[in-house]
Amino acid sequence: MDYFAQQLINGLTLGSIYGLIAIGYTMVYGIVGMINFAHGEVFMIGAFIALIAILSLFALGITAVPLALLLALVIAMALTGLWGWAIERLAYRPLRNSFRLAPLITAIGMSIALQTFVALTQGARSKPLPPVIRGGFTLSEGDSGFAVSLSYMQIIIIVTTVAVMAAFSYLINSTSLGRAQRACEQDRKMAALCGVNVDRTISLTFVIGAALASVAGLMFLAYYGVIDFFVGFVAGIKAFTAAVLGGIGSLPGAMLGGLLIGLIEVFWAGYFTAQYKDVAAFSILAIVLIFMPSGLLGRPEVEKV
Amino acid sequence: MADGASDATRDDLLRVENLTMRFGGLVAVDKLSFTARRGDITAIIGPNGAGKTTFFNCITGFYKPTEGRVALAHGSQAAFEALPAATFGGKQWSKAEGAGAVFLLERMPGFEIARLARVARTFQNIRLFAGMTLLENLLVAQHTVLNAASGYTIGGLLGLASFKRAEAEAIDKAAYWLREIGLIDRADDPAGDLPYGAQRRLEIARAMCTDPVLLCLDEPAAGLNPRESAELNALLLKIREEHALSILLIEHDMGVVMQISDRIAVLDYGQKIAGGTPEEIRADPRVIAAYLGVPDDEVEDVEAEVGL
């Protein structure tokens, strides 16, 4: 039981990170109908910006860890959002009305370009961040000598995710930007006829997705303490899987999918073998898609006339 | 409903000159010139494939016309005086708002046509945001106002008082239109769940929430039963009376067309073949020929008769 509780905590932490990245995939898919394969790299860039920001803040003498982390979070969200905007503007918008595969190929190209850019400018070796937040609670001292612990870092990750998700849901459900975005998702041309600037709304979607990915990037960095130019690839594929599992296009689905993928991975590694954790996650995806082709919370595709 | 007496007060709102839309070899609209007067309900009729919807698509920014000019004047037709300068100056409008502004619709992107030129439309095959509630559909239509009031969302997130007020006003306006179309009880249902006739009314209400000066309706009576189309007539006349608005109407239902329109333009093969009051149109042999068709060997007789 103790072991189970520990895995649950670990799984939720990992799942939070996947969920935040998955939202970027699902939002972009919802509004422009393309899979932004460069989104994993946006997450990676967010982590790098966060790392540089934290180290710079420490160097500037801001050593209060909560303040430094908060500032780094704001800086990472702003700058990564800018990256997201630039990627859409340069690589995707010119091809928006092109044939269906063009944006997909561009996205893969963009993904490689961003990886290479970071590898060249930051070096290919992995970058460590010394643990900034240590310690935690010990929830129970099991009879078997197995202690369930909940680190402060895990609490921060889960709480931040919940807070960011709440703000994000408010944005989507109750602001005029959110309504415009959902309108664009359903019928872009009609939204334009209602006075919605569709190009700007799509840009903002990329910015928001990138900002959320950078939150995930900062948490990934602080949790694992090491990043390299390649972290975006695996995390991106997992988050994409999470978005598909939850039902691509569905925002609650992305979060649910993220949590499930995180839990499956951690539990599989905990009870069976760590080598096959990815196989387990992808197998569950395959099984779910066979029985529920539109994912757990996805709506079946409605053909627009 | 032809109202000759008020002709003097009804000046030009929309001037379409030489509008041509080609799709490859197909000429859907062919050097069409057309004028709609402020305050009128102008019906556009014609056989299937005459280019009516294409014409609408050119006005509302769905298509970029191959050739021609589509100019809309706010305020009065005196605004058209600024048209040559705007045309040759390569501008999209003479000024962005206020009376006396003239807009070159064929140069403007769709959302600017809705936002600045204030042209709204509905569709033959209804295009509501089916997954959003009735209220949200009407709020999206007020996006321009809300977005500006919310300081492009940032103020909205911070919950500024000015945004709260703007949002309350937007909800009031939406509620007003929901009452007008008799759907206030279903404000929080998804629009896709409404029956067909109600969806048509909601689409008109949504168009009205964008605060248009020109409302383009593409077959609003299609698929309605006689009672519903009588209600539609009443709604359109009421809208026109109460909201200082001009209406362009594509319609096949002659009951609707003859009862409510002030002027009728008849299109065939992308060209305007006749125009005038309902009485004139009813008696026009060209219109009858276009609608009923005539055998090939009689075409010349008909043409001679109508002086083509």
pLDDT at B152 over 80: no
More confident residue, B151 or B202: B202
Cβ contacts of residue A4 below 8 Å, gap of 6+?
none
**B61 has a chain A CB within 8 A of its CB:** yes
Structure tokens at A111: 């993904």
**B12 has a chain A CB within 8 A of its CB:** no
Q: pLDDT > 90: what percent of chain A?
A: 61
Q: What would the mean pLDDT of B286-302 be, rounded to a whole number? A: 69
Q: What is the pLDDT of residue A302?
A: 53
ipTM: 0.80
**B118 has a chain A CB within 8 A of its CB:** no
DSSP conformation class of A143: T
Q: What is the pLDDT of residue A205?
A: 94
Structure tokens at B7: 């002709």
Q: What would the mean pLDDT of B168-196 be, rounded to a whole number? A: 91
Q: Are B114 and B208 in contact (CB under 8 A)?
A: no
pLDDT at B109 over 90: no
Cβ contacts of residue A246 below 8 Å, gap of 6+?
A22, A26, A252, A253, A254, A255, A256, A257, A258, A260, A295, A296, A297, A298
- Looking at the partner chain, which of A176, A183, A192 has a beta carbon nearest the beta carbon of B132? A183
CA distance from start to end of chain B: 29
pLDDT at A85 over 80: yes
pLDDT in tens, B66-76: 999 999 988 88
pLDDT band at B295 (very low <50, low <70, confident <90, very high): low
Structure tokens at A294: 């539109």
Angle in degrees, CA B162, B165, B168, rounded to 5: 150
SS (H, E, C) chain B: CCCHHHHHHCCEEEEEEEEEEEECCEEEEEEEEEEEECCCEEEEECCCCCCHHHHHHHHCCCCCCCEEEEEEECCCHHHHHHHHHHHHCCCCECCCCCCCCEEEHHHCCHHHHHHHHCEEECCCCCCCCCCCEHHHHHHHCCHHHHHHHCCCCHHHHHCCHHHHHHHHHHHHHHHHHHHHCCCHHHCCCEHHHCCHHHHHHHHHHHHHHCCCCEEEEECCCCCCCHHHHHHHHHHHHHHHHHCCCEEEEECCCHHHHHHHCCEEEEEECCEEEEEECHHHHHHCHHHHHHHHCCCHHHHHHHHHHHCC
Instruction: Label the pairing between strands B26-37 and B41-45.
Output: unpaired
Residues of B in contact with A196 (CB under 8 A): 111, 140, 143
Determine, for residues B139 and A176 on separate chains, whether the beta-carbon distance falls below 8 Å.
yes
Residues of B in contact with A93 (CB under 8 A): none
Determine, for residues A186 and B129 on separate chains, whether the beta-carbon distance falls below 8 Å.
yes
Q: What would the mean pLDDT of A24-40 be, rounded to a whole number? A: 92
Which of A200-209, A214-223, B267-276, B283-292 has the weakest average pLDDT?
A: B283-292
Q: How far is CA B51 from the centre of its chain?
A: 15
- The whole-model pTM stands at 0.85
Report helix angle A176-186 to A198-224, nearest 10: 110
Task: Enumerate the domain spans of chain A.
Answer: 14-141+152-232
Q: What is the pLDDT of residue A111?
A: 95
pLDDT band at B297 (very low <50, low <70, confident <90, very high): low
pLDDT band at A156 (very low <50, low <70, confident <90, very high): very high
Determine, for residues A180 and B111 on separate chains, whether the beta-carbon distance falls below 8 Å.
no
Q: What is the pLDDT of residue B2?
A: 42
Q: What is the pLDDT of residue A176?
A: 86
Q: What is the pLDDT of residue A281?
A: 85
DSSP conformation class of A37: T
**B108 has a chain A CB within 8 A of its CB:** no
Residues of B in contact with A77 (CB under 8 A): none
Q: pLDDT > 70: what percent of chain A?
A: 97
Task: Please give, rounded to a whole number of angstroms, the shortest distance from the CA of A38 to a CA of chain B.
Answer: 27
Q: For residues B61 and B49, what is the distance between their CA atoms, to the nearest angstrom?
A: 20
pLDDT at A173 over 90: no
pLDDT band at B97 (very low <50, low <70, confident <90, very high): confident
Q: What is the pLDDT of residue A3?
A: 85
DSSP conformation class of A90: I
Determine, for residues A193 and B143 on separate chains, whether the beta-carbon distance falls below 8 Å.
no
pLDDT at A50 over 60: yes
- Alpha helix stretches (DSSP H) within A175-250: 176-186, 188-193, 198-224, 231-246
Angle in degrees, CA A9, A240, A78, rounded to 5: 80
Chain A contact residues (CB < 8 Å to B): 167, 170-171, 175-177, 179-180, 182-183, 186-187, 189-198, 299, 302, 305
Determine, for residues B121 and A302 on separate chains, whether the beta-carbon distance falls below 8 Å.
no
Q: Are B203 and B122 in contact (CB under 8 A)?
A: yes
Q: What is the pLDDT of residue B3?
A: 44
Residues of B in contact with A183 (CB under 8 A): 129, 132, 140, 143
pLDDT at A131 over 90: no
pLDDT band at B1 (very low <50, low <70, confident <90, very high): very low
Task: Please give, rounded to a whole number of angstroms, the shortest distance from the CA of A46 to a CA of chain B.
Answer: 22
Q: What would the mean pLDDT of B153-170 be, rounded to a whole number? A: 73
Among positive and negative, which fits the CA dihedral A213, A216, A218, A224?
A: negative
Determine, for residues A193 and B147 on separate chains, whether the beta-carbon distance falls below 8 Å.
no
Best probe of the B interface among A96, A176, A251, by most B CBs < 10 A, is A176
Sequence letter at residue A197: N
- Looking at the partner chain, which of A171, A183, A189 has a beta carbon nearest the beta carbon of B110? A189
Q: For residues B177 and B191, what is the distance between their CA atoms, to the nearest angstrom?
A: 14
Q: What is the mean pLDDT of chain A?
A: 90
**B74 has a chain A CB within 8 A of its CB:** no
pLDDT at A299 over 50: yes
Q: Are B150 and B161 in contact (CB under 8 A)?
A: no
Q: For residues A161 and A155, what is the distance between their CA atoms, to the nearest angstrom?
A: 10
**B293 has a chain A CB within 8 A of its CB:** no
Determine, for residues B121 and A175 on separate chains, whether the beta-carbon distance falls below 8 Å.
no
Q: What would the mean pLDDT of A198-205 be, rounded to a whole number? A: 93
Q: Mark which residues 207-246 of B lie under 8 Å from A by CB.
A: 210
pLDDT at B6 over 50: no
Q: For residues B75 and B85, what is the distance between their CA atoms, to the nearest angstrom?
A: 18
Determine, for residues A180 and B157 on separate chains, whether the beta-carbon distance falls below 8 Å.
no
Best probe of the B interface among A193, A208, A304, by most B CBs < 10 A, is A193
Determine, for residues A171 and B157 on separate chains, whether the beta-carbon distance falls below 8 Å.
yes
pLDDT at A39 over 90: yes
pLDDT at A195 over 50: yes
